[in-house]
C-alpha cells in the first residue's frame, strides 16, 4: 500500500503529556477536513494517549510506527 503523504508534520520530540496532545490538537485544528497530520514524538506514554485522544475526537489514526527512538503517528482530520 502506498505511504500516505502528510500535509503537515510537527516534531514534538522532548515534549511530555499533556502537551504532546495539546500541540497535536492545535496543529490538527489548522488543517482542513481530510488532511493528514504527521506527529513525531518520543514520550512513550503519549504513543498510546495521543492516538486515543485523537480517535475520541473523531479523527482517524492511520498509523503508529516506531522510527529509531521516536514514534511517527499519522492522523487524518475528521
Alpha helices by DSSP H, listed for 19-68, are: 19-29, 44-56
CB of 2 to other proteins, least distance (A): 31
| Euclidean distance between CA atoms 76 and 33, whole angstroms | 8
Cell numbers standing for residue 6: 502528510
Query: Does 11 participate in binding other proteins (rule CB under 8 A)?
Result: no
Q: Applying CB under 8 A, which of residues 49, 64, 70, 72 lies at the interface with other proteins?
A: 49
Q: Is 43 a catalytic residue?
A: no
Active site members:
17
Q: Which residue ranges make up the site for other proteins (CB under 8 A)? A: 16-19, 21-22, 25-26, 29, 43-45, 49, 52, 56
Amino acid at each position: 500500500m502506498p505511504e500516505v503523504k502528510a500535509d503537515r508534520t510537527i516534531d514534538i520530540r522532548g515534549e511530555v503529556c499533556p502537551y504532546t496532545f495539546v500541540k497535536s490538537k492545535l496543529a490538527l485544528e489548522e488543517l482542513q477536513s481530510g488532511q493528514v497530520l504527521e506527529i513525531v514524538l518520543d514520550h512513550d506514554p503519549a504513543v498510546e494517549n495521543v492516538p486515543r485522544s485523537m480517535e475520541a475526537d473523531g479523527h482517524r489514526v492511520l498509523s503508529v510506527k516506531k522510527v529509531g527512538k521516536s514514534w511517527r503517528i499519522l492522523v487524518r482530520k475528521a
